[in-house]
Chain A
């Protein structure tokens, strides 16, 4: 499988690095302190391919703590919280969009 670092990086707007936590699979975001957070608002924002590549390399290096890091788009508007940039990331952040039988 091609390493994420070998893939061509093309970003068109503000982006973050996200992955799943190894021990429980929880959704996590690479933060500004070279660690991971489950809180999207703490995610480090990258705005061009070089920044994204550097942050992704840092994330990939933590193979023990995180699985499958990749670049994901986010929406940022002045004065508002960071929002996921697509439906997939929205679902990863907020959870399933359906009523469960256990609800």
Chain B
């Protein structure tokens, strides 16, 4: 966990009081909606179909148990008893009253949580690998650099009014769990030939109306130069990014139109002009940030404790263990992913009761720490393996032990037309129906790793372009239709999926997905050939044929 200092606490508290005054003036009519809109957006407040929506940042996906309890409190006190974890390590509350928002923010500020820059044309919440600091083989904890970026970008006067929103993601592992290639700036920590730590810098990734996979702009930027190099990129974007057309305002369009070589040259020139700038990080600054992260005092534990050997006789426990546990860097410990995708449930939602109970379990079994991943699941990052059987039973009682992590029913979905004012079609009912179709865990395990992503509009909050199966809601003559893509992926080999044919009506989507999955089972070369690899090998034609031959 990162401990905020006095400056952080003062900043957050002052921001709450500033927003309280802005809300007061809006409600009295002193501020018009046109004047107020940008202010509320910079504090994470949207207006959706039914109510205001409040988006709260969970920087680099790390939460303490006390922070999770406070999120539960906000859900219960100011909302309707639940929250929705998003694809960018935020949580959203869907029924907040504007008049009560300052109080909710003040309650969150007491535990170091804020909503600054969770919306608006500025640098958004810095996201990272939800297993940061515990993943084996990691170069180093990417949250140290994420926190540096968070501090640098928060309320940065030069970058608070960019042409459009701007998102960072950082990974320090070979396997990318942070989806860095679909971010405006993706950073991959690695070491150069001299053994120095630095970053591969990727620019121009993003989904939405015009999707692009990010391109490498510089293979290695030394850690001490991270902020100056990032500032050079932001300056070039701020200068040349289009403000005349919202659909062409993201950095991905600038990179595409200039070409990556020209864009890189512009950044290099800007960066060289900043040589020896005040942004060059000395070791003391990095160490100061590093020192404010606390790490658990792990015990020396056996790799395979007796409790685990005994529990292995229970097939239900074993199924959960196979699909929820991941290797920890410390022997005797495990990373436990908690599925927020119960059969028939809205993906990513958690009730206040679940959050409170999970906070207690985190205190008991995970050194008081919880993680949030972009797949809309949670994780307990430091669980002693001896505790797994008792933890599993507790999670099962809470509805947090669905054994489907990374399987076909572990669906990523945006809120869609049930909540969102931008959506054209519903996402959640499609996801719910698919989880029912694939509710049989034996079948799901037979299918293997398969990511379905659903977005209710072209803005792509459900990351449908990079789903192994992507589902995009569109509207045709007042009816909901869905375009289906296959072959996308969001990891280190990120690719955009390919459209398989005409959009299908709402009632056909689950049948189409079943057809695609059946085709895959018949076509895969081996039982362990993943769906996405079969699509890569064969292309979309056999799947297209299967789906449209009878439609």
* A-to-B contact residues, CB < 8 Å: 1, 20, 22-27, 63-64, 67-68, 86-88, 91-92, 95-102
- Chain B 444-500 residues near chain A, CB threshold 8 A: 478, 480
B26 in the interface (beta carbon within 8 A): yes
Assuming the A-B contacts A86-B478, A101-B350, are A91 and B51 also in contact, with contact meaning beta carbons closer than 8 angstroms in the complex? Answer: no
B91 in the interface (beta carbon within 8 A): no
State how many residues of chain B have any CB contact under 8 Å with chain A.
Answer: 38
The residue from B29, B47, B80, B429 contacting A64, defined by CB atoms under 8 A apart: B29
| Binary contact track B403-419/A, C-beta < 8 Å → 1, others 0 | 00000000000000111
A101 touches B349 (CB 8 A): yes
A97 touches B418 (CB 8 A): yes
**Distance of A52 Cα from B398 Cα, bound (Å):** 51
A23 touches B27 (CB 8 A): yes
Q: Which residues of B contact A97 (CB under 8 A)?
A: 418, 426, 429
**Distance of A56 Cα from B520 Cα, bound (Å):** 53
The residue from B27, B51, B429 contacting A20, defined by CB atoms under 8 A apart: B51
B345 in the interface (beta carbon within 8 A): yes
A22 touches B98 (CB 8 A): yes
B82 in the interface (beta carbon within 8 A): yes
- Chain B 239-268 residues near chain A, CB threshold 8 A: none
Shortest C-beta distance, B226 to chain A (Å), equals 36
The residue from B32, B97, B342, B426 contacting A25, defined by CB atoms under 8 A apart: B97
A24 touches B418 (CB 8 A): no
A92 touches B50 (CB 8 A): yes
Shortest C-beta distance, A5 to chain B (Å), equals 13
Interchain residue pairs with CB less than 8 A apart (21):
A22-B26, A23-B27, A23-B99, A24-B98, A25-B48, A25-B50, A25-B51, A25-B96, A64-B29, A68-B33, A68-B47, A91-B49, A92-B49, A95-B50, A96-B428, A97-B429, A98-B346, A100-B80, A100-B82, A100-B346, A101-B342
| Binary contact track B37-74/A, C-beta < 8 Å → 1, others 0 | 00000000001111110000000000000000000000
B351 in the interface (beta carbon within 8 A): yes
Q: Which residues of B contact A26 (CB under 8 A)?
A: 50-51
The residue from A22, A95, A101 contacting B27, defined by CB atoms under 8 A apart: A22
In order of increasing CB-CB distance, the 8 nearest A-B pairs are A25-B51, A64-B29, A24-B97, A96-B418, A25-B52, A102-B81, A23-B99, A98-B428
**Distance of A24 Cα from B52 Cα, bound (Å):** 7
Shortest C-beta distance, B504 to chain A (Å), equals 17
The secondary structure that dominates the A interface is loop
B33 touches A67 (CB 8 A): yes
B432 in the interface (beta carbon within 8 A): yes
B26 touches A102 (CB 8 A): no
B389 in the interface (beta carbon within 8 A): no
**Distance of A67 Cα from B419 Cα, bound (Å):** 17
**Distance of A100 Cα from B51 Cα, bound (Å):** 17
**Distance of A87 Cα from B417 Cα, bound (Å):** 9
B314 in the interface (beta carbon within 8 A): no
| Binary contact track B210-230/A, C-beta < 8 Å → 1, others 0 | 000000000000000000000
The secondary structure that dominates the B interface is mixed
Q: Which residues of A contact B429 (CB under 8 A)?
A: 97-98
Shortest C-beta distance, B74 to chain A (Å), equals 14
Q: A22-B33, A25-B52, A97-B426 are in contact. List 10 more A-B contacts (CB 8 A).
A: A23-B27, A23-B98, A27-B49, A88-B49, A91-B50, A91-B417, A99-B344, A101-B345, A101-B351, A102-B81
B34 in the interface (beta carbon within 8 A): yes
**Distance of A87 Cα from B52 Cα, bound (Å):** 20
Assuming the A-B contacts A97-B426, A97-B429, A100-B82, are A24 and B417 also in contact, with contact meaning beta carbons closer than 8 angstroms in the complex? Answer: no
**Distance of A91 Cα from B428 Cα, bound (Å):** 13
A63 touches B33 (CB 8 A): yes
Q: Which residues of B contact A92 (CB under 8 A)?
A: 49-50
Nearest B residue to A85 via CB reads B478
B417 touches A25 (CB 8 A): no
A63 touches B29 (CB 8 A): yes
Q: Which residues of B contact A86 (CB under 8 A)?
A: 478
B349 touches A100 (CB 8 A): yes
**Distance of A1 Cα from B41 Cα, bound (Å):** 15
Q: Which residues of B contact A101 (CB under 8 A)?
A: 82, 342, 345-346, 349-351, 354, 399
A1 touches B417 (CB 8 A): no
B98 touches A1 (CB 8 A): no
A102 touches B98 (CB 8 A): no
Nearest A residue to B97 via CB reads A24
Nearest A residue to B96 via CB reads A25
**Distance of A23 Cα from B51 Cα, bound (Å):** 10
Q: Which residues of A contact B344 (CB under 8 A)?
A: 99
Nearest A residue to B344 via CB reads A99
Shortest C-beta distance, A94 to chain B (Å), equals 10
A102 touches B50 (CB 8 A): no
**Distance of A91 Cα from B429 Cα, bound (Å):** 13
Nearest B residue to A3 via CB reads B34
Q: Which residues of A contact B96 (CB under 8 A)?
A: 25
**Distance of A48 Cα from B225 Cα, bound (Å):** 62
Assuming the A-B contacts A88-B417, A97-B418, A101-B346, are A24 and B99 also in contact, with contact meaning beta carbons closer than 8 angstroms in the complex? Answer: yes
